[in-house]
Structure 1
Amino acid sequence: MAGRQAARGRGAGRRAAVRAAAPALALALLACLTGGCGLTSGSPMADGVRPGSIGRGLPLKGADLTVTSKSFSENIVLGQIMGLAFQAAGAKVLDRTNIQGSVGAREAVRSGEADAMYEYTGTAWITYLGHDRPIPDPARQWRAVADADARNGLTWLAPAALDNTYALAVNRADARKYGTRTLSDVAALSRRNPRAVTLCVESEFAARDDGLQGMAKAYGMDVPASRVQKMDGGIIYTQVSGGGSCTFGEVFTTDGRIAAMRLVVMDDDKHFFPNYNAAPEINSGTLREHPAIRDVLDPITARLDDDVARQLNARVDVDGQDPHEVAKEWLLKEGFISK
């Protein structure tokens, strides 16, 4: 569920080529510009949190800040983390997270209707900025996005290691049995022992050049069509974890079910898949007025990686906990804020 939510939340086609994404994006942007982006309500955050390792001296005291997010669990949690950090630093915060669709949340920050959100580098580069080829190096990808979006009135702060992209995963028993840790290992296994490798993937992943076809070509992975099964994303996780019809399954790297189902993610050792690193996207005017935002968020972003995201996402999507409370408990546990 979380993986599919992430896919939907990142706009029309998670890795849609420009030819496919541009018309829908243009229409959505036009709707935002002419009719608003839907940020018509919100609720003040009133948690009474105090500085911990961030926010000392209340550098945001007197600031009125609005945070937003997309509508899938991971991005909502990140929005709550951001809002709570601003509160601890002294700001009054309006919570307008959980906005349907990528474009609405981004346009709200660009227009100043909201001040900040966590966005993904690959989403911005491909879906918003109109490129059809990702940049393999994550630091260069972030820098290219930051430079381009500076002209759009948006400032990207330092990125997280958190990278919500495609991967293959296997259950722990099969990982031990076959000794696979990387996609190169899977490719070698497919050539050495073809019967050992069955893949369960979603239909879109199976058809895309930046999905199964491109991955197989980049790694020399020899998996015949008869050993590739197409199914809904939610079923993939259960099939892989239970030792069903899939040895390896397509997953999203920060999905909470990876930890909950004790799956092992294969390292993309040739860096084939695009980078979708999360980073704070701030309205540039807001940042000029409140430059302390950078110092408040940078240490938190630096702590966010795939393992942290999986744990937080699992608490929401597997355990059914409230994203705000999940974010708050994590910030307290890490010492970033205090009660």
Structure 2
Amino acid sequence: MNFTWRSLWFALMIVSLMMMGTACGSSMGDGAQSGEITVGGKDFTEQHLLTKITSIYLKEKGYKVKEAGSMGSSVARSALENGQIDMYWEYTGTALMVFLKEPAETDPAAAFKKVKKLDAENDLVWLEQAELNNTYTILMRQDQAEKLNIRSLSDLAAYVKKNPKALRFATNAEFYSRQDGMKGLEKKYGFQFPTNRVKKMDSGILYNALKEKQVDVSVGFATDGRIKGFNLVSLEDDQKFFPVYHAAPVIRKDVLSKNKKIEGLLNDLARRLTTENMMELNYKVDVDHQNETKVAREWLVSEKLIQK
């Protein structure tokens, strides 16, 4: 009889401990009971920073996080669709035109609405889009733009039409050949750079070529830190030619359903990221050569999202 009562007592103790463990688990952070979150990213400075910002923030909020950065754009998308990563930051223009095979869109709200709806069919959830818009931009040295009184693409078009041999234009091969690149730009604004005034070069040296006065005008990306670092100026796209490339966190539907609090956290990040502050962060890495992790953490602290 004593053995039976002892056995029953031990059994009750085990059940009680299990119930206590379950209760403790339910009070833990959302990430603590939902497994590991794999944060992906593409292979350029801005994406490295977005990956670091997201990973550090989620870790501070109790999630187990694995980073999977430095992927090509198509690889990142495939990894998300195949479940190799759980989320990454994508650009509306890239998703719309490259992955969803839709026409370019210059209206931010329309582009976001379309990608959100179409990707819902792929079980991918677009959370809030940031003000951050890493679209194409046309650049000049600030002093030269001021001297020639060129502030917008319409100003540039008018100047080139009157002075076709005066300016040299730098472009990478992709922008030169795309309809939403140079060909479309010239058609939209009604001008054309003479072929012998166009210099094609790798994307990485466009900014330096402009800075060193090897060229006078160049294509670039709106959030690149070298715009600030090299005293360049983005000409206003006053006729709204370039598609929008607003960044937003994109997460798999099944991951979001298991980690409901993550939506609010990622949306909070998105609301704070602008074209201007992203350019500043890129500048710190590309021009000041600061460590990406350090820059990401300092920004999170400055936004009071995490403690120092």
Fold equivalence (TM over 0.5): yes
Quote how far apart the aligned CAs of 1:69 are.
Answer: 1.1
* CA-based RMSD: 2.0
Q: Which residue of 2 aligns with 1:86?
A: 58
Which residue matches 2:20? none
- In structure 1, the gaps of 5 or more residues are 1-56
Give the aligned residue type for 1:197: L
Runs of 4+ in structure 1 deviating by more than 6 angstroms, as ranges, are none
In 2, distance between residues paired with 1:96 and 1:255?
23
The whole-number CA distance in structure 1 between the counterparts of 2:202 and 2:266 is: 36
State the SS of the aligned residue for 2:294. helix
| Counterpart contact for 1:260–1:318, Cα < 8 Å | yes
Q: Give the distance between the partners of 1:145 and 1:249, measured in 2 at CA.
A: 30
Contact 2:30 2:260 in 1 (8 A): no
1:279 aligned partner: 248
1:123 corresponds to: 94
Q: What SS does the corresponding residue of 1:337 show, helix, strand or coil?
A: coil
Q: Which of residues 121, 129, 135 in structure 2 aligns to 1:165?
A: 135
CA offset at residue 152 of structure 1? 0.9
Do residues 290 (structure 1) and 262 (structure 2) align? no
Could you give the per-residue CA deviations for residues 16-44 of structure 1, whole angstroms, max 9, x where no partner exists? Answer: xxxxxxxxxxxxxxxxxxxxxxxxxxxxx
In structure 1, how many angstroms separate the alpha carbons of the residues matched to 2:96 and 2:184?
19
**Residue of structure 1 equivalent to 2:45:** 73
- The corresponding residue for 2:202 is 232
**Counterpart for residue 80 of structure 2:** 109
| Native 8 Å contact 1:62 1:92 kept in 2 | no
User: Which has the higher mean CA deviation after the structures are superposed, 171-180 or 220-229?
Assistant: 220-229
Per-residue deviation, 1:329: 1.1
- 2:101 is the alignment partner of 1:135: no
Q: Name the CA distance, whole Å, in 2 between partners of 1:208 and 1:105.
A: 22
Counterpart for residue 152 of structure 2: 182
The equivalent residue for 2:298 is 329
1:245-299 CA-partner distances (Å, limit 9, x unpaired): 4221111222222121121011212221222211100111111222221211222
Q: What displacement does 1:309 show?
A: 1.9
Instruction: Give the equivalent residue in structure 1 for 2:67.
Output: 95
- 210-219 vs 81-90, which moves further: 81-90
CA distance in 2, matches of 1:90, 1:235: 41
CA displacement at 1:58 relative to structure 2: 5.2
1:205: which partner in 2? 175
SS at match of 1:274: coil
Residue 264 (structure 1) aligned with residue 233 (structure 2): yes
* 2-structure distance, mates of 1:322, 1:199: 33
Native 8 Å contact 2:180 2:242 kept in 1: yes
User: What 5-or-longer segments of structure 2 have no aligned partner?
Assistant: 1-27
Asked if structure 2 preserves the Cα contact closer than 8 Å seen for 1:63 and 1:90, the reply is no
Q: Is the 8 A contact 1:239 1:246 kept in 2?
A: yes
Q: Which has the larger radius of gyration?
A: 2
Shift of 1:328: 0.9
Q: State, as a whole percentage, how many aligned pairs show the same letter.
A: 38
Query: Number of paired residues?
Result: 280
Counterpart of 1:237, as a letter, is Y
Select the residue among 205, 208, 211 that pairs with 1:241: 211
Instruction: Determine if contact 2:207/2:226 at 8 Å carries over to the other structure.
Output: yes
DSSP 3-state at the match of 2:105: coil
Taking the aligned partners of 2:76 and 2:200, their CA distance within structure 1 comes to: 32
Structure 1 residues 180, 137: CA separation in 2 closer, same or farther (over 3 Å shift)?
Answer: same
Secondary structure at 2:184's aligned position in 1?
helix
> Alpha-carbon deviation of 1:59?
5.2
- 3-state SS, counterpart of residue 96 of structure 1: strand
Q: Write the deviation string for residues 158-177 of structure 1: whole angstroms up to 9, x where unpaired.
A: 11122222211011111210
What do the CA deviations read for 1:223-261 (whole angstroms, capped 9, x no partner)? 32232222233333123223x242211112222221211
Which stretch shifts more, 254-263 or 102-111? 102-111
| Aligned counterpart, 1:27 | none
- SS class of match (2:33): coil
CA-to-partner distance for each residue in 1:52-109, whole Å, 9 max, x for gaps? xxxxx955453432211122221121011111221222222222223x3223322333
Distance in 2 separating the partners of 1:113 and 1:234? 29
Question: Aligned AA for 1:337?
Answer: I
